[in-house]
Structure 1
Amino acid sequence: MITVDNVSKSFPGRAGAPVHALREVSLDVGAGALYGVVGAEGAGKSTLARCVALQERPDRGAVRYDGINLTALEGRKLREARSQVGVVDPKLRPERTVAGNVAAPLERLGVDAPRRRQRVGTLLDLIGLSRAAAQLPAELTPGQQRRVAVARALATAPAVLLADDPTGGVDAEESGAVLSVLDRARAEFGATVLVTTPDPAVVRRVCDDVALLERGSVVESGNLLGLLGKHGSRIADELLPVITTSRAEAAQYDVAVDVVLVGFAAVGALLPEAASRFDVELATIGGGLTRFGDTPVARFRLGVRGQRADAALAWIAERGAHVTHTLCGLRNVAA
C-alpha cells in the first residue's frame, strides 16, 4: 500500500549547514496494516510522517501509494492524492462542538447534512463519545480530545491514516483508549495506519510491523513478533522486559540462558513441563512478562541445574522458545 523508497530530507541549519532529518529511509507498509515507527526525539519521525502525508516533499526518493509515485504529482492530482490520507491533528477548533469538529472536513467537501450526521454518528460511536457530541473540546480530557482528532481524520474515509505521536501529552490511563481507536479504524474501516512514536509501549499495544528510526535512518524493521527472537535485535531489546541479573547470581547455576517465550502456551506451560520432563531445576532469575497486543511475551534469564540441562533447553527451543544467549560453566567464572 505505502512504499517509502530511499527518502532523504534536509533543512537549513545554523551557519548554512544542512540538518539531515531523513537519510535514505525505506519502508513497506502493507494494506490494512498498523505500522509503527519508533525512535527517540529528533530521530526524524515527524518529518517522515509529513513526507508520507505529502505535506513535505523529499529531497530525494519517492513515496508511493499502490505503486503511484505521489512525490511526482502536482496540482489537482496532488490534491486528489492527499484526499486519500487522513492526518490526526490534535488541534481542535475550540468554538465548535465535538460533532462540529468531526463534521468539518465533510462540510468543506460539500457533503449534505443528512449524510454528514450519519457519518459523524458512526465516528462518534467508534471513539466512544456519542454522548459528548454537543460538548466543546475544553470540556473533554486530553485523551478524549485526541480521540476526537482521530475521528475527524477519518471523516472522509481515507485509505491511509497517519498519527504522529498519538499519545503525546496523554496520560497512561487514557492512552490505551486512543490506541484502541486507531486499532478499530484499521479493523472496522480497513484503513492502513502509520503511527510514529517515541514510546515503545505504543508499538507493543497495537502494531503489527515496526521500524526503528535513529538519526534519520532506519536501523531495523520487520514483523514485530518475528523480531522478538532475533539475536541482536535492537527493536526486541527496546521492547522486551529488561534483564538486570548480576553475574554473581547467574554463576550459582550450571547454565544460565536468556529466553523469549511468545504466546499463552509457551509462557504458561513450557518451562514447568521441561523441568518435569528432564528432571532439571529451571529458576527465573531475571526479566519479566509483557504483552504485544493480546499476545503475552516473556523474556527471562533462566538459571538451570541438572545433568540434562542442555537437553531441556534444546527441547524448549524446538517448541518455539527463542534461546537468545547462553552462558555456560558460570560456576567456574569469577563474578
Structure 2
Amino acid sequence: MITVENLTKSFPHNGNPVVALRDVSVDVQAGSLFGVVGPAGSGKSTLARCIALQERPDRGVVRLDGLNTGTLDGRRLREIRRQLGVVGTKPELIAERTIAGNIATPLEQLGVDGPQRRSRVGTLLDLVGLTPRAAQRPAELTEGQLRRVAVAKALAAGPSVLLADDPTSGVSADEAGAVLTVLDRARAELGVTIVVTTPDTTVVRRVCDDVAVLEDGAVLERGTVLDLISDPASRTAQALLPAIETTRAQSARYDRAVDVVLIGFASVGALLPEAAGRFDVELATIGGGITRVGDTPVGRFRLGVRGERSDAALAWIAERGGRVTHAVRGPQGVAA
C-alpha cells in the first residue's frame, strides 16, 4: 500500500518558488490501478516522481507498506527504489539493441543468469503482446508498441509498484487501448500496484479502480471511480457519464423530469422497467445513455415521469442503488 500524507513540493523559478503540490494526501491500495487525473501543470508528474522516490517533497511523507521513505538514504534507498518501476512519457530504449535485449537490460544489471533472464523476457514479451517483435529494433516499432516495450522493461526486475506517467500521450486511440490493456494485465497477472497519471479521463474509464483529481497542485476529489460517478456533481461523474441533451418541450410532456444514475448489469438492464411495472407509472428515457467503466455498465438517463405513484417508484429505484436527482415538476416548471 502507498500512503501519501500532506505532500507539498515546490521548484525555484526565476528566483521564486513555484508550488507544484499543495498538501496532497492519497492512499493507493495494494494491487489496484490508481489514476491521477488533471490538466497540464496540475502536479500529476511531480506526484508520480515523489512516489517513485525521484523527488523529495518539501513537506509531507510517502509511505510504502508503512515505511517512511523520507528517512531512507544510501543503500537502503536504492533497495527500495528497485521495488518501483517507472515508465516515463518517452520510452528510454537502446536503439542498437533488440526489443528482447532492451527488456533484458535491467536483469543484466542485476546479474541474473542467462536461462532465468531469457525466461523472464519471454514472459514479459507475451504479457505485452510483442513476442513476434522480439528480434526487431526500436526504430521498427510504432509509438504504441514502444510504450508497451517500456512497460515490459520497467517490469523486468519484478517491482511491486509501477508508475506510468501519461502512458498514452502521443499514441493513437487504437494503440492507446493496447497500452492500457497491458497495464491492466500487469496488475491482474503479476499483482503489481499501478499508478497512472493522465489528463485523459478515457484512461480512468477503461482501467482505473480508484482516482484522485488534481488541479493547481491540490486534490479536488478522490475515491473509487464507481463511488465518484454515483454522484453526478463530482468532477469524475461530469467527465465520464454520458451527456444529457433534452429540450424543454420533451420535459414538458411529463409530470416531472429526473436524472438517474444506474451502475451495474442488473440496475442498467432491469431497474427502470421493473419500477414502471411495479408502480404502474411511465418512465420514459428522454436523454442520456450508457457507457462502461472498466467492465461495469453505467447509465445516466433523464426520465420523463408520469403517474400517481411516481414518488414511490423513484424512492424504490433509489433504495436499490440508483442515484435520483434533478427532480423538476412538469409544465409549470419544466426541466432545465
Q: TM-score range by the shorter chain?
A: over 0.9
Offset from partner CA, 1:282-306 (integer Å, 9 cap, x none): 1212222110111100111111122
Q: Does the Cα contact within 8 Å between 2:232 and 2:238 map onto a contact in 1? A: no
What's 1:84 paired with?
A: 83
Quote the Cα distance in structure 2 between the aligned partners of 1:246 and 1:82: 56
- Please name the residue that 1:2 is paired with: 2
Q: Is the 8 A contact 1:255 1:309 kept in 2?
A: no
Q: C-alpha displacement at 1:159, in angstroms?
A: 0.6
Q: Secondary structure at the match of 1:11?
A: strand
Distance 1:26 1:324 in 2: 30
Determine the C-alpha separation between the residues in 1 that align with 2:70 and 2:268.
46
Per-residue CA deviation, residues 191-236 of structure 1 (Å, 9 max, x unaligned), is 1111111111101111111111111001110111122223532222
Deviates more, 1:169-178 or 1:209-218: 169-178
- Cα shift readout 1:114-135 (whole Å, capped 9, x = no counterpart): 1110100000011111111001
Q: Distance in 1 between matches of 2:296 and 2:2?
A: 26
| Mapping 1:1-335, distance limit 5 Å | 1-14=1-14, 16-89=15-88, 90-230=91-231, 232-327=233-328, 329-333=329-333
Distance 2:186 2:53 in 1: 21
Q: Residues of 2 paired with 1:149 and 1:112: CA distance?
A: 22
Name the amino acid aligned to 1:138: A
Q: Which amino acid aligns with 2:51?
A: V
* 1:248 Cα deviation after fit: 4.2
Letter in 2 for 1:182: L
Deviates more, 1:108-117 or 1:277-286: 277-286
Give the root-mean-square deviation of aligned CA atoms: 1.4
Q: Which moved more, 1:78-87 or 1:311-320?
A: 311-320
Give SS of 2:331's match.
helix
SS in 2 for 1:166: coil
SS of match in other structure, 1:131 = helix
8 Å contact 1:230–1:324 — kept in the other structure? no
What is the rounded CA distance, in whole Å, between the counterparts of 1:252 and 1:17 in structure 2? 60
- Give me the whole-angstrom Cα distance separating, in 1, the residues matched to 2:319 and 2:201: 29
In structure 2, give the amino acid aligned to 1:76. R
Q: Determine helix, strand or coil for the equivalent of 2:167.
A: coil
Structure 1 SS opposite 2:302: strand
Deviations 1:87-118 (A, max 9, x none): 01323222211101101111111111111101
Return 29-38 or 88-97, whichever deviates more.
Answer: 88-97
CA distance in 2, matches of 1:305, 1:93: 66
Q: How far does the alpha carbon of each residue in 1:253-293 deviate from its partner, in whole angstroms, 9 at most, with x for none?
A: 21111111111111111112222222222121222211011
- C-alpha contact (below 8 Å) 2:4/2:61 kept by paired residues: yes
For residues 249 and 13 of structure 2, what CA distance do their matches in structure 1 show?
49
Q: How far did 1:168 drift? A: 0.8
Distance in 1 of aligned mates of 2:52 and 2:152: 17
Question: Can you give the 5+ residue segments of structure 2 that lack an aligned partner in the other structure?
Answer: none
CA contact (8 A) 2:232 2:261 kept: no
Paired AA for residue 166 in structure 2: D
Query: Contact between 2:291 and 2:298, CA under 8 Å: does it hold in 1?
Result: yes
The alignment's TM-score, normalised by the length of structure 1, stands at 0.96
CA distance in 2, matches of 1:221, 1:241: 20
Structure 2 residue matching 1:333: 3-state secondary structure: coil
Instruction: Provide the TM-score with structure 2 as the length reference.
Output: 0.95
**Contact conserved, 2:31 with 2:194, CA < 8 A, in 1?**
yes
Q: Give yes or no for contact 1:285–1:302 (8 Å, CA) kept in 2.
A: yes
Amino acid of the residue matched to residue 63 of structure 1? V
What is the CA-CA distance between 1:244 and the residue it aligns to? 2.7
Which moved further from structure 2: 253-262 or 270-279? 270-279
